[in-house]
Chain A
């Protein structure tokens, strides 16, 4: 069965410090991978998605970046955190149907990383 691991679960960082969140998926190959952010009292905002190694699409301009060095590994980074980067970060994966190039429709989320920037 497929599993998704995301870490760290919780972190408190000072403004201006770097960030690295890591996500790995097991039990599937060539998944679509996503990073979402959920600010307090707000909805999920799509930050990045990736359809393959080295292929990253950004949804919103920001001081965050994403990388996919391996098929099932997705990393979210920042060189200098801002107060506004605080939030609940969620990694997710979905599968692409090979014949129709459609997703199956379900997103599977990691347990999330709660970031507080002070």
Chain B
């Protein structure tokens, strides 16, 4: 079973739409959770960390459900510049390994 699973999409949404991505992780020992963004043919970059209480950064909201081993990312008022692949990432302190989902592709359409 994969460490992290995501719906690959693609998600094609109009500008201004709200879109949600989901992710599940298999190892209950996972301690830290993140969303990374990867533009085409570029390296991934941290979008935001995900905290147990949920957290928001502008138009982006992340949620964590430890009981269900589930992480989500909500993007409100989508912009053209939000088009990218969004990667769900979990980290276990033992060995300091980061595990990536396959990513969810988002295209925001004018």
Contacts and interface: CB of A to CB of B under 8 A. Distances in A.
Interface of A: 32, 34, 36, 42-44, 46, 49, 51, 57, 59, 88, 90, 92, 94, 96, 101-103, 105-107, 109-112, 114
Given A105-B32, A105-B34, A44 B44 contact: yes
How would you classify the secondary structure of chain A's contact residues: helix, strand, loop or mixed? strand
A103 B100 CA distance: 16
B34 A44 contact: no
27 contacts: A32-B96, A36-B100, A43-B4, A43-B87, A43-B103, A44-B44, A46-B98, A46-B99, A46-B100, A49-B96, A49-B97, A51-B96, A57-B95, A59-B97, A90-B43, A92-B98, A96-B96, A102-B93, A103-B91, A103-B93, A105-B91, A106-B49, A107-B46, A107-B89, A109-B45, A111-B43, A112-B43
Contact-size category for B = 20 to 34
B102 interface: yes
Interface in B71-110: 87, 89, 91, 93, 95-103
A88 B103 CA distance: 15
Given A105-B34, A109-B43, A44 B95 contact: no
Interface of B: 4, 31-32, 34, 36, 41-46, 49, 87, 89, 91, 93, 95-103
A29 B97 CA distance: 19
Contacts of A43: 4, 87, 100-103
Nearest to B92: A103
Given A43-B87, A103-B93, A109 B44 contact: yes
Given A43-B101, A49-B97, A103-B96, 15 more contacts: A32-B96, A36-B100, A43-B100, A43-B102, A43-B103, A46-B98, A51-B96, A90-B44, A105-B34, A105-B91, A107-B46, A107-B89, A107-B98, A111-B42, A114-B41
